Chains A and B, each alone.
Chain A
Amino acid sequence: MASATIPKHGKTELRRDVSIWGSYMWGYADVGADIYVALGLVMAYAQGAASLVFALAGTVYIMIGLAYTELSSAYPVAGGGPYFTLRGLGDFWGFVGGSALLLDYTIDIALFATASAGYLNFFMPYIFGQGIESFAISFGPFHNVNPVWCLETLFIIGLLILVNIKGIKESSFLNSIIGAVDLLAEGSIIIFGFLFAWKPELLIHQWNTQFPSLHNFMYGSSLAIISFVGLESISQAAQETKRPATVIPRTSLTLIFTVFIFAVSFSTLGLGVLPWQVFAEHMGDPVAKLAHTIPYIGLIAGPFAAILGATILFISSNTGVMGASRLTYSLSQFGIISPWFHSVHPKFRTPVRTIIIFSMIAVLQTILSFLTPSAMDTLGNMYAFGASLGYTLVFIALIKLRFSDPYTPRPFKVPLNINFKYKGRKTSFPVLGVIGMLGVGTILFMVVLTHTIGRIAGPSWVILCFVYYAWYRKRQNLPLFRSVKHDWEQEQINVLTSAEEFDLLEQYKLALAERDKKRKEIK
């Protein structure tokens, strides 16, 4: 470890006042929106096997969710994946995890704004007499470019920039209301869909005759991870939840399984109601199309799902703007990036630099992706790369932290552990962590193998961030690949104190005292 220390900054704490329901809905408003985007995209590639693909990706996602639950309840801070990676693997890997997540936040802004506009376009045939696809043009080497959809998306991103610079307080109450309405709507679509519209013979027909090629199956599987992205919201909620050790395991486990059930149910229902080609054609508004097909309720459910989809995706897009600000703030506190990023606007008191920089990156991504034949597909491509890279690092950090930080109390542990003694102390090795790491590693491998844009743009982004990281660390006289000395023990004491987890704090202090006593005895 280097003896250099990072510059000290005044830390401001986030207020802890989010309830159990608020914490659950925070996550649901973020992760629950993913199916609105993923359904059409995955159907287009996984075809007759879409529901299997969702189930497989969902199984990996459950393991990722369990890892996040353990780490978020043990380290209830908003830094999320990169923070866990930083603690477990050191500064450099923390930076790699941070850059992967930053990529995802910028894509999050672009992809969800595109999808939000897509759901609004559901009404286009009824208002203008023609669908959004009729505006597509081709020029030079570019085909199927849709300038109208692109402009709508840019307008939404512009609105998000303005709203965030001026400063909105993301209302936990509003999130709860929209989340609850969405939960009810998705539940109703599933119930009415299975009761009145689902034809098992159609699903079986598609399964038997339209099973995808291996390439498409792998591509679809890696895209399906999109429907489960947003687990960072668990750790963000942990930072603002009172007694997170008690609340987070309950809410996040419920969230993980709700999202999994919805994703698998929607795809199974979809394949039994419509041919997969219909979803591929309606990549912008697949859930609204599905809801519109259901007898009795379809006439209302279709437009309602479209409005709800547009709203919840807008909120999700906003999560990208807010997430990028939170992440850069967290990274700058640990000397990974410059504190220049989190300076606030003198009048509005908002992190104006991060909002503008990362939103403009999202604007660029939007314009470039609309120059490709399918903007949604291109954005999804890169999203999957960032997510799978970040999650792989989180799994490695989970395993490493079990050995390097056995003293921090873990109110929840990933199940399936092998207990043994390591350096004279009881340690449990997370078998499920290894399986999850292999699962998400396989998805990362499939992304690199099958995503023509993601495998170039994703690593290029990480390399670009590395150039900045190297420049900044050199300028600050900080080591490039080694870690700066962090006082994690004091940090953990501060975190547990602010979270009012006094039982855990006592356990932690006792464990440290016991360790120190043993060390003295050895000396």
Chain B
Amino acid sequence: MKRATLQPVDPNYKISSRDYYQIFTSALMVILGTIILFRSFAGYITIMPLLVGGGFLALGCYRLNFIVKYFREKRK
């Protein structure tokens, strides 16, 4: 899988252990971001938890986007 750059996805690329690590950390970011946001919304809202939670969620989704793209290309 290509790294998170703006290059086109190469369907012939084989997933390495590093990519699996990146998939794992990206999924973890999405989970962590969601939990931080959910817990922040439960009380009074301030900017920093929203930034941190939102940041994790956005970064995780951004990275996962490349993984999804890769599998879509491969299926074609």
Q: Is B a genuine binding partner of A?
A: yes
Q: Given the complex, which residues of B lie within 8 Å of A198, measured CB to CB?
A: 36, 39
Does any Cβ of B come within 8 Å of A55's Cβ?
A: yes
Q: Which residues of B contact A272 (CB under 8 A)?
A: 49
**Residue B43 at the A interface, CB < 8 A?**
yes
Any chain A CB within 8 A of the CB of B3?
Answer: yes
A322 at the B interface (CB under 8 A): no
Highest count of chain A CB atoms <10 Å: which of B5, B40, B51, B52 = B52
Please tell me if A268 contacts chain B, counting CB pairs below 8 Å.
yes
> Are B55 and A201 in touch, CB under 8 angstroms?
no
The reply to whether B49 and A52 form a contact with Cβ atoms under 8 Å apart is: no
- State the Cβ distance, A118 to closest chain B Cβ, in Å: 26
Nearest Cβ distance between residue B55 and chain A, in whole angstroms? 7
Given contacts A191-B28, A194-B32, A261-B55, contact A55 B39 (CB under 8 A): no
- Whether A52 and B39, one on each chain, are in contact in the complex, defined by CB atoms closer than 8 angstroms, is no
Inter-chain contacts of A52 with B (CB < 8 A): 47-48
Is the CB–CB distance between B3 and A250 below 8 Å?
A: yes
Distance (whole angstroms) from the CB of A55 to the closest CB of chain B? 7
Chain A stretch 182-211: residues in CB contact (< 8 A) with chain B: 187, 190-191, 194-195, 198, 200-201, 203-204, 207-208
User: Which residues from 41 to 58 on chain B have a C-beta closer than 8 Å to any C-beta of chain A?
Assistant: 42-44, 46-49, 51-52, 55-56
What count of chain B residues pass the 8 Å CB interface test?
21
A321 at the interface (CB under 8 A from B): no
Tell whether, in the assembled complex, residue B51 and residue A204 are in contact, meaning their CB atoms are under 8 Å apart: no
* Given A194-B35, A195-B35, A250-B3: A207 in contact with B46 (beta carbons within 8 A): yes
> Is A265 in the interface zone, CB < 8 Å from B?
yes
Say yes or no: is A51 at the interface (Cβ < 8 Å to chain B): yes
Q: Does A38 contact B (CB under 8 A)?
A: no
Question: A195 CA to B32 CA in the complex, in Å?
Answer: 8
Interfacial chain B residues near A200, Cβ < 8 Å: 39-40, 42-43, 49
The contact size tier of chain A is: 20 to 34
- What residues of chain A lie closer than 8 Å to B36, measured between beta carbons? 194, 198
Whether A201 contacts B43 by the Cβ 8 Å rule is yes
Most chain A beta carbons < 10 A, residue from B3, B35, B46, B56 = B46
- When C-beta atoms are compared, the residue in chain B nearest to A50 turns out to be B48
Tell me if A43 is interfacial: C-beta within 8 Å of chain B.
no
Compute how far the CA of A147 lies from the CA of B3 in the bound complex, rounded to whole angstroms: 51
Decide yes or no whether A399 CB sits under 8 A from chain B: no
Contact B32 A191 (CB under 8 A): yes
Q: Which residues of A contact B56 (CB under 8 A)?
A: 261, 265
The docked-state distance in angstroms from the alpha carbon of A264 to that of B42 is 21
The residues of A that contact B49 with a CB separation of less than 8 Å are 200, 203, 268, 272
Residue of A nearest to B47 (CB): A52
User: What's the nearest-Cβ distance from chain B to residue A217, in Å?
Assistant: 14
Cα–Cα distance between A443 and B43 once the two chains are bound (Å): 34
Which chain B residues border A201 with CB–CB below 8 Å? 43-44
Least distance between B47 CB and chain A CB atoms (Å): 7
Whether the pair A264, B55 counts as a contact (CB closer than 8 A) is yes
Interface string of A247-282 (1 = CB under 8 A from B): 000100000000001001100100110000000000
Output the least CB separation between A37 and chain B (Å): 21
Q: Within B17-49, which residues are at the interface with A (CB < 8 Å)?
A: 25, 28, 32, 35-36, 39-40, 42-44, 46-49
A497 to chain B, nearest CB (A): 27
Question: Which residues from chain A contact B46 at a C-beta distance below 8 Å?
Answer: 203-204, 207
Quote the shortest CB–CB distance from A303 to chain B (angstroms). Answer: 25
B52 x A268 contact (CB < 8 A): yes
Q: Give chain A residues whose Cβ lies under 8 Å from the Cβ of B39.
A: 198, 200
A204 is contacted by which of B28, B44, B59 (Cβ under 8 Å)?
A: B44
Q: How far apart sit A265 and B29, CA to CA, in the bound complex (Å)? A: 12
Whole-angstrom distance from the CB of B4 to the nearest CB of chain A? 9
A96 to chain B, nearest CB (A): 36
Q: Give the chain B neighbours of A51 by CB distance below 8 A.
A: 48, 52
How far does the alpha carbon of A271 sit from the alpha carbon of B47 in the complex, in Å? Answer: 13
Please indicate the chain A residues that have their CB under 8 angstroms from the CB of B42 in the complex: 200
Nearest-Cβ distance from residue B40 to partner chain A, whole angstroms: 5
**Interfacial chain A residues near B52, Cβ < 8 Å:** 51, 264-265, 268
Closest chain B residue to A55, Cβ basis: B51
In the bound complex, CA of A204 to CA of B46 (Å): 7
* Inter-chain contacts of A268 with B (CB < 8 A): 48-49, 52
For this complex, 26 residue pairs linking A to B, each with C-beta atoms less than 8 Å apart, are A52-B48, A55-B51, A190-B32, A194-B36, A195-B32, A198-B39, A200-B39, A200-B40, A200-B42, A200-B43, A203-B46, A203-B48, A203-B49, A204-B44, A207-B48, A208-B44, A250-B5, A261-B56, A261-B59, A264-B51, A265-B52, A265-B56, A268-B48, A268-B49, A268-B52, A271-B48
Given A198-B39, A200-B39, A271-B48, 5 new contacts (CB under 8 A): A195-B32, A201-B43, A208-B44, A261-B59, A268-B49
Q: Please give the residue numbers on chain A whose beta carbons come within 8 Å of chain B beta carbons, in ascending order.
A: 51-52, 55, 187, 190-191, 194-195, 198, 200-201, 203-204, 207-208, 250, 261, 264-265, 268, 271-272
